[in-house]
Structure 1
């Protein structure tokens, strides 16, 4: 059975925090969920007074982290600048970015590169091929590792103590009826992934979606992230499609690893 999440997303609780910063973060998260909201709505959602929320919003607006509109407040474009800066400063960015696009073009499906951060899979690059379908994924999205192919590919190549820590912190909550919610079942699948060198997501995160993913590692076996291909189940699973797609994926990952080794 799945285990309960800790009170804090990162799994570490501490009194050594600044409460006003946490209030700003809760306001930002509230705006993210609502797109646009007025002071009263945010105050009700965060449990803060209207006056306190107003001060935080004014401060955030001063630095372009939120924008005031005629309908209330919304997140500002400052985050796009920060996110782009973080992404472009990843050491592997120059090598991986063009290969994700190539993979999408060759398969015609959606190709992604993800990394692990605080026990979640974070999408760094996403490209859509000619047949690519829209899904809930987008660049920057944080997803449970055990629910997605890229996450399982990374879990399979982490130390067992790290896997246990992630399960303990985030639990194994279902997204669909196919989601793995049992620890032993997940560990068995991770062993299968290590043997075949790629992971499969069969409608475990989104109904009707099928994905394959392979880990990307350096020459000294350091895990960098995972590359995935996803598409509709009926198209990805038919005939020899799985084997052909897996072969293409593993070929691209091998090229990426070689380029990272000798770049």
Structure 2
């Protein structure tokens, strides 16, 4: 974290994910005065200014002294945000958390390949995110480590070997929280259907999800082995698992993730086409 603590970091866009990163960085020791955020929304600027972060609505002013520029805007405004900055980002590390924005697209607008593309996920808001990162070889080991330190302020960071794998990261972890929320919804509803009140069904489901995740993270056993360990022959868990197998839950989950990957690819292609 020492490298990141000595940098000036600019965020273009101050939404939830940017605020999660900012909060994580400050909690890790980065002085708030080293952070600048540019955002057109006055309420966002006021919220961040209360944390002693420099704020502005002028992107050119925001990047002036930055060592790292984090792009945290909606994909549909990327072109309008970056076009005025072309030629002004030389030698600055760009970290993009813009969904669907390929490095080639960002490079076209900025004139630099010094870009790290990141697929974050929403648990970053509670410092338990999972982030996939990719960069061209022009981004050296020192700058990769810097990007890792910035993202690690809100969770796990993993580098992938090909940019196409970012679409897989999107399917697995980027969209992944929604899959688990969907499972939680179903379990809560089942508990209610069988007689539990909503508060009890919800508390049991959420704590079970937390406990299962913690066991999977800390155990030397794989999730498959952990599942087998709690599935006694002819027991209650086996009865439930048999229904999952009969209705091809595993296959359906895998098919769903392929659909998410395909949609991520389509969004990237659409954004790339708009840059031409």
Alignment TM-score, normalising by the size of structure 1: 0.27
The structure whose residues are more often helix, as a share, is 2
The structure whose residues are more often strand, as a share, is 1
